[in-house]
A and B are shown apart, each in its own frame.
Chain A
Amino acid sequence: MPLVAYPDAALTIWQGKDALQFIDGLSTNKMVDMMKGQLVQTVFTSSQAKIIDFVTVFHMGEVLAVQCHQSKLQNLLNHVLPRILGQDVTITDVTERNQFAVEYEVKNEHVGTFISVNNVTYGRTESNLNIVIASKENTLQHSGTIAEFDAWRIENLVPWNNHEITIKNHPLAAGLSKFVHPAKGCYIGQEILARMVSRGRQGKNLVRCKNSEVDDKLITTRGEIYSLGIVRAIQ
């Protein structure tokens, strides 16, 4: 299975008895039922329902490891820190201690769980995709290129950070619908997303399209013949 570097990834540790509830109250997916050994992906959204960051939460037992993105980390912290108030939540940035990669074309049976072997953690986020987080002391042998990974993403309609997952898009348009829980209650941006779903009007969709058939500026990940693009949905 190809393993490619994930250079924009960041890792934060969220501690405290209120940490899980805190993330649940500010993001799109239902987190409160998580158990140790599970992972859940969720989106922090702005009041306009635009993506602040798409994160993967690893329930480590005592702490939550939240894989986020370096390019979005400051915005994420600006969003969450003022809202901690008196709650028991402490956030630590441990990005510098770790290295990150993505393993794709895998065959996962236990999606939504992770395993750690010799300080290398494999987060089974999809049936065919792992997020790999390793201590800096380990050596990760990369066996693929970003271009090859992008080609695989186009083929499998997989959105990615800084391509489809940007502050310009809301989670439904960016192909992250399955991480927007339909019945979890309120969070910032929820009213807008709920309205889009209930009215069947999400505006834009992530699609795989032929380069010759779509406007260049709509392409988010360019391939040789096919690309990913976020285009206005046909109502």
Chain B
Amino acid sequence: MDCGTCETSSPVQLMTPEVVNVNLSISNKAQEMLSDAFGDDRSMALLVGVLSGGCSGYMYDLQIVEETDQSCQEITVDGFKVLVPNASSHLLDGIEIDYVDRLMGGGFKINNPNAESSCGCGESFS
């Protein structure tokens, strides 16, 4: 097998989507829960990203981080510092971060106007 890794094989061209300036909102309930999670330390940021996988092909990724090595745009929403990776900005423009308070299937939810479909658990979309 010749992997071509020792020589210069050019990688398959990625279809890089245009970076979008993201607007997003956070519901009142989600703000309450984020306030509990952040406490008084607002130096931390909420990273809202997208990973591949899940039933529908894309999965939301929510993390509270100090910093990230991803190329991100930083926005402030209702007093919270939010980081959105540029690579997935086209999938996240216009989303609402909500919090659903119930015993099963509860937690943070993303309402995404860009999603054509999403799986039952709400973590994955296409």
Contact = CB atoms under 8 A, between A and B. Distances in A.
Interface of A: 11-13, 15, 22, 24-26, 47, 58, 60, 62-63, 65, 77, 80-87, 90-94, 97-98, 116, 119-121, 133-137, 186-188, 190-191
Contacts, number: 107
**Residue among A25, A86, A92 facing the most chain B CB atoms (10 A cut-off):** A86
B37 interface: no
Q: Please classify the interface of chain A as helix (H, G, I), strand (E, B), loop, or mixed, using the class held by over half of its residues.
A: mixed
B85 A85 contact: yes
A84 B53 contact: no
B57 A26 contact: yes
A53 B117 CA distance: 23
Chain B at the A interface: SS class: loop
B12 to A, nearest CB: 5
10 contacts: A65-B1, A81-B12, A83-B57, A85-B50, A94-B2, A94-B3, A94-B9, A97-B9, A186-B124, A191-B55
A15 B5 CA distance: 10
B108 interface: no
B93 to A, nearest CB: 14
B65 interface: no
A187 B55 contact: yes
